[in-house]
Amino acid sequence: MTFYPDERIALFIDGANLYSTVKTLDFDIDYSKFLNLFKEKGRLICARYYTAVLEHEDFSPIQPLIDWLDYNGYSVITKSAKAYTDRDGRRRTKGNVDIEIAVDILELADHVDHILLVSGDGDFRALLQAVQRKGVRVTVISTSKSKPPMLSDELKRQADAFIELTDLERIIGRSTQFAESEDV
């Protein structure tokens, strides 16, 4: 991964995608170390974490993480998830923040040199093309080492660079021994 000391960097995290990825890989992220890693690489303009939260819930298991991120250098963007019952009677949740991520990246693209996208979602391929046409470099952070791979091949091919999340584990990982679900 190549970074330049004066480049303006923006970090965008697809929270649900990252959560699924690290659970599949069986390691937890120390979000403070994660943020500091990229602060050291250039001028970090913003770090945004996107997630859906269930509406009308007294307590959400992700709320402690959201609160911690919000107080520790991340901008947290939430969207209400909808709970519903499918035709088989199973309770399901629907909440997607892809559009919010895409709009924010497009709006910020004229003000940064390098975008870091933490997601493996192939739906972002056209977004990467659009910001690359503006001269912005894009690095995707995800994994192809999970079963099934969390990284779409088309997203990896479109990115200017790819960072394998498992390669960062020794730098940003924390012991799962004391970690609770979705806690910091």
What average pLDDT score do residues 72-82 get?
91
23 Cβ contact list (under 8 Å, min separation 6): none
Question: What does the alpha-carbon distance between residue 125 and residue 169 come to, in Å, rounded to a whole number?
Answer: 25
Report the percent of the chain where pLDDT is more than 70.
92
Summarised one tens digit per residue, pLDDT across range 96-122 is: 899 999 999 999 999 999 999 999 999
pLDDT for the residue 96: 85
| Per-residue pLDDT reduced to its tens digit, 2-12 | 888 899 999 99
Asked whether the predicted pLDDT for residue 57 surpasses 90, the reply is no
Which of 20-29, 43-52, 174-183 is predicted with the least confidence, judged by mean pLDDT?
A: 174-183
Q: Are strands 8-14 and 137-142 parallel, antiparallel or unpaired?
A: unpaired
- Write the pLDDT tens digit of every residue in 128-165: 999 999 999 999 999 998 888 889 999 999 999 999 99
Mean pLDDT score, 73-83: 90
Tokens of residue 21, six digits: 């990825």
> Could you please report the per-residue DSSP string of 122-142?
GGGHHHHHHHHHTT-EEEEEE
Question: Would you call 116 helix, strand, or coil by DSSP?
Answer: strand
Higher-pLDDT residue of 94 and 150 is 150
Provide the mean pLDDT of the chain: 89
User: Which tokens belong to 23?
Assistant: 């659970």
Q: Where are the domains of the chain?
A: 8-174
Architecture of the domain defined by 8-174: 3-Layer(aba) Sandwich (3.40)
